[in-house]
Chains A and B, each alone.
Chain A
Amino acid sequence: MSEEVNRENQEKEVSRRGFIKATGVAAAVAGLAMSGLAGTVRRAEAAGDAMPKKWDESYDVIVVGTGFAGLAAAIEAKHGGANVLVLEKMRTHGGNSIINGGDFAVAGNRFQKPAGIQDSPELMVKDMMKAGGDLNHPALAKIVAEKSLETMEWCESFVGAKFARLNFHGGHSVKRSVQTENASGSGLVNPLLAKAKSMGVKFAFATKMERLITNKEGRVVGVEVKKGYKFPNEDSGKPAYIKASRAVVLGTGGFSQNVELRQIQDPRLDKRFDSTNHAGATGEALLAACLAGAMDVQMDWIQCGPWTSPDEKGFGYVPQFCERIVGYAPMVDPTTGRRFIKETGNRKVRADAIMQLNHPVLIFGDSVNVARQVLTEILDKGIENGSIRKFDTVEEIARHYNIPVAPLLEEVAKWNSYVEKKKDPDFDCMIFPNATPTVKPPFYAARLWPRVHHTMGGLVINENAQVKGFNLKILKGLYAAGEVTGGVHGAVRLGSVAMADCVVFGRIAGRNAAKEKPWA
């Protein structure tokens, strides 16, 4: 190495954490050191934007993220003959995918026929576009709906996942969401991980992608990472450069947990709102892609789940209680005792209505409807942690939650008459054929308050999962799938269509990444 290059590297070493490590000096002193080295840091970073002098490792395809999209991409890329490395910034795999409810929207699945349900990809697209306010990129929505069935079958026959039942999600015209046997996304993530490992895909945990490296032509050629990264400590980890000779695939999820970024996009979403997401859903990879020239779209469409309870943390049990009884049970504003919204409406319709009221609301079902609809395990655990409560009479519910009694009783009587007629003239709520009036004790109730759940917007992709740049050209060497992308769901994502989106586009991204001609 020449003397000049050597000195440049030394300065880079000194100006970054290398300085602290070399002298073993405590962090307090580093602050002083950093301010004195400001000029040197700027110069070093400018040098770093160019290609690294040496690559530490080299792979054909680098996938970032170990959720549904990343793992599906890794499997397909490996299948396509590529040497694949998967990066995961957390110490554990699965991101949001592994903690989700396991519901996967499939148009025309085998559970629908015995239930007498008619469905089609066209109907699913119609539902997606309606919920999305027509902001969805139609070609992308079509691909997700059309490939949903073959993808579900791939999950079962090739990956080894098991789907056991059919569920309804608000905004869909029909029940079309197949659920994993264990009612968790882990029922698909863990088989995907096992499959990828058995195929020889390499994994690097606690390794954070910091920057996408591009060559002079703007093609993505590799990544700069931090090895030994300890989330959320941004000072942890040692830099390394990994070459991606064919492509990089981003399956890095959304940014619901990045309060600063989400508030820039939607100022309502301040600290009042918790998130259902895992702590790492902070969107740095999305921002890194934009810094490399990728275009973003619809970033201000951020979904709040209307089905979480303020009486438990995270996602909790209440969503799988609430969502199984909408269309079977009334939801009321506790200050008035009246229904206030279409219970089977989509997430935005319901979340906005609750946010407008500015206080939690209540949903309650009777023993017949709850027993039929809600998994025993969910009910028991919700009762155990106090987020679902059991009552002998509707009057007791009113007393406990300070609801005006007479209006509430009146509202329940009205609801029951609508259930008899299978028609809701007040809010046009879908009333299912097997719904029965809310009359038989015990009654089960849960409070609801929205939580930030999904970021619909993200990187612009085409039908091949290729990322588009701000120059309106394909950003060569970069693919993306799942929540990090924008355009599939438009303004509002329908429940259970995320799993479909992630696996369908994850596979497309992986397949196409492997097909790229190596740049070197």
Chain B
Amino acid sequence: MNIRALSNKSAFVLAAALVLAGTTAFAAPKRLATAKPDNCVACHGKEQVLPAGHPKTARMTFANCLECHPKDGPASLSGKLPLSHKHHLSGANCVQCHGKSKKKEPVAAEVCHTCHEPEQLARKTSGIKPQNPHTSKHYGTSLDCNNCHHQHEKSEDFCIQCHSFNFKLP
């Protein structure tokens, strides 16, 4: 964007906005593709993201987190830790899904499929009642993962629009 090409009115508003941006508390953490997964401070800075008294997470992987936070127990991290963190802590960092470009675009389902093959996934969750979340009469196994599993926001249950399956999402 060429600042000089802006009309006076637009330039003024732009300047005002930048001033406001400086003074507004901007809470969202950075997303540093180069940060090591166990280095919370790199993205979160001074923000306290872990509860007081939580053991130091240096050199921990997601498998280590699960030692105290088993998936089906009361301390489960389901819905508490963003999926992007679970991926990063498991060795799948930003670049692996988004590629090396500076501007990270939303990821196509085919990328997810390289590790999470749909038919295999449907077999893995076939025991879930009352409905297997990874296959359905409507979409088979073709439903885009992102309909439910968001990486940088809380995940949601796509089926809940019409059904009451009460899925527990990771």
Report the Cα distance A22→B11, complex, angstroms: 13
Q: Is B139 a contact of A92 with CB atoms below 8 Å?
A: yes
Q: Is A32 a contact of B163 with CB atoms below 8 Å?
A: no
Q: Is B144 a contact of A92 with CB atoms below 8 Å?
A: yes
Asked, given contacts A40-B9, A99-B138, whether A23 binds B144 with beta carbons under 8 Å apart, the answer is no
Could you say which residues of chain A place their CB within 8 Å of the CB of B130? 381, 384-385
Q: Is A314 a contact of B161 with CB atoms below 8 Å?
A: yes
Q: Which of B12, B13, B146 has the most CB of A within 10 A?
A: B13
Report the Cα distance A91→B158, complex, angstroms: 11
Q: Is B5 a contact of A36 with CB atoms below 8 Å?
A: no
B1-18 interface code vs A (CB 8 A; 1 in, 0 out): 110011101101110111
A33 proximal to B (CB < 8 A):
yes
Report the Cα distance A313→B142, complex, angstroms: 23
A18 proximal to B (CB < 8 A):
yes
Report the Cα distance A385→B147, complex, angstroms: 24
Q: A182-190, A338-346, A402-410, A504-512: which lies at the B interface?
A: A182-190
The one of B5, B106, B146, B163 that contacts A7, using a Cβ cutoff of 8 Å: B5
B140 proximal to A (CB < 8 A):
yes
A11 proximal to B (CB < 8 A):
yes
Could you say which residues of chain B place their CB within 8 Å of the CB of A385? 130, 164
The one of B14, B144, B164 that contacts A91, using a Cβ cutoff of 8 Å: B144
Chain A positions 281-305 with a Cβ under 8 Å from a chain B Cβ: none
A37 proximal to B (CB < 8 A):
yes
Asked, given contacts A13-B1, A29-B20, whether A36 binds B164 with beta carbons under 8 Å apart, the answer is no
A1-41 interface code vs B (CB 8 A; 1 in, 0 out): 00000110011011100110011111011001100110110
Q: A14-B1, A91-B147 are in contact. List 13 more A-B contacts (CB 8 A).
A: A6-B2, A10-B5, A23-B17, A25-B21, A37-B9, A40-B9, A93-B142, A99-B138, A99-B162, A228-B106, A313-B163, A314-B163, A385-B164
Chain B positions 1-50 with a Cβ under 8 Å from a chain A Cβ: 1-2, 5-7, 9-10, 12-14, 16-18, 20-21, 24, 26
A126 proximal to B (CB < 8 A):
no
Q: Give the dominant DSSP class at B's interface.
A: loop
Chain A positions 170-224 with a Cβ under 8 Å from a chain B Cβ: 182-184, 186, 190, 205-206
Report the Cα distance A506→B85, complex, angstroms: 45
Q: Is B137 a contact of A23 with CB atoms below 8 Å?
A: no
The one of B16, B18, B26, B143 that contacts A92, using a Cβ cutoff of 8 Å: B143
The one of B16, B105, B162 that contacts A32, using a Cβ cutoff of 8 Å: B16
A446 proximal to B (CB < 8 A):
no
Chain B positions 99-114 with a Cβ under 8 Å from a chain A Cβ: 105-106
Q: Is A26 a contact of B147 with CB atoms below 8 Å?
A: no
The one of B5, B106, B140, B162 that contacts A190, using a Cβ cutoff of 8 Å: B140
Report the Cα distance A258→B33, complex, angstroms: 41
Report the Cα distance A315→B137, complex, angstroms: 14
Q: Is A94 a contact of B139 with CB atoms below 8 Å?
A: yes
Q: Closest Cβ of chain A: how far from B51's Cβ, in Å?
A: 27
Q: Is B5 a contact of A186 with CB atoms below 8 Å?
A: no
CB-nearest residue of chain B to A10: B5
Report the Cα distance A503→B32, complex, angstroms: 49
CB-nearest residue of chain A to B162: A314
Could you say which residues of chain B place their CB within 8 Å of the CB of A26? 21, 24, 26
The one of B7, B16, B106 that contacts A11, using a Cβ cutoff of 8 Å: B7
Q: Closest Cβ of chain B: how far from A386's Cβ, in Å?
A: 9
Interface size of A by CB at 8 A reads 46
Q: List 25 A-B contacts (CB under 8 A).
A: A10-B2, A11-B6, A11-B7, A14-B14, A19-B14, A23-B17, A25-B21, A26-B26, A36-B9, A36-B16, A37-B10, A40-B7, A40-B9, A91-B147, A92-B147, A98-B138, A99-B138, A186-B139, A206-B106, A228-B106, A279-B161, A316-B162, A381-B130, A384-B130, A385-B130
Q: Is A184 a contact of B138 with CB atoms below 8 Å?
A: yes
The one of A15, A186, A206 that contacts B138, using a Cβ cutoff of 8 Å: A186
A122 proximal to B (CB < 8 A):
no
CB-nearest residue of chain B to A193: B142
CB-nearest residue of chain B to A315: B162
**Using a CB–CB distance below 8 Å, which chain B residues touch chain A?**
1-2, 5-7, 9-10, 12-14, 16-18, 20-21, 24, 26, 105-106, 130, 137-140, 142-144, 146-147, 160-164
Report the Cα distance A3→B49, complex, angstroms: 50
Q: Closest Cβ of chain A: how far from B129's Cβ, in Å?
A: 9
Q: Is A10 a contact of B1 with CB atoms below 8 Å?
A: yes
Q: Is A18 a contact of B1 with CB atoms below 8 Å?
A: yes
Q: Is A23 a contact of B162 with CB atoms below 8 Å?
A: no
A312 proximal to B (CB < 8 A):
yes
Report the Cα distance A279→B20, complex, angstroms: 37
A278 proximal to B (CB < 8 A):
yes
Q: Is A14 a contact of B161 with CB atoms below 8 Å?
A: no
Q: Closest Cβ of chain B: how far from A125's Cβ, in Å?
A: 32
Q: Is B18 a contact of A23 with CB atoms below 8 Å?
A: yes
Report the Cα distance A37→B143, complex, angstroms: 40
CB-nearest residue of chain B to A278: B161
Report the Cα distance A19→B11, complex, angstroms: 11
Q: Is B1 a contact of A22 with CB atoms below 8 Å?
A: yes
Report the Cα distance A315→B10, complex, angstroms: 50
Could you say which residues of chain A place their CB within 8 Å of the CB of B10? 11, 14-15, 37, 40
Asked, given contacts A33-B13, A36-B9, A314-B163, whether A28 binds B24 with beta carbons under 8 Å apart, the answer is yes
CB-nearest residue of chain A to B129: A384
Asked, given contacts A91-B147, A94-B139, whether A39 binds B17 with beta carbons under 8 Å apart, the answer is no
CB-nearest residue of chain B to A22: B1
Could you say which residues of chain A place their CB within 8 Å of the CB of B13? 32-33, 36-37
Could you say which residues of chain A place their CB within 8 Å of the CB of B139? 92, 94, 98, 186
Chain A positions 445-473 with a Cβ under 8 Å from a chain B Cβ: none
Could you say which residues of chain A place their CB within 8 Å of the CB of B160? 313
Report the Cα distance A32→B24, complex, angstroms: 13
Report the Cα distance A316→B161, complex, angstroms: 11
Q: Closest Cβ of chain A: how far from B28's Cβ, in Å?
A: 8
Report the Cα distance A33→B10, complex, angstroms: 9
Q: Is A94 a contact of B138 with CB atoms below 8 Å?
A: yes
Could you say which residues of chain A place their CB within 8 Å of the CB of B14? 14, 19, 23, 33
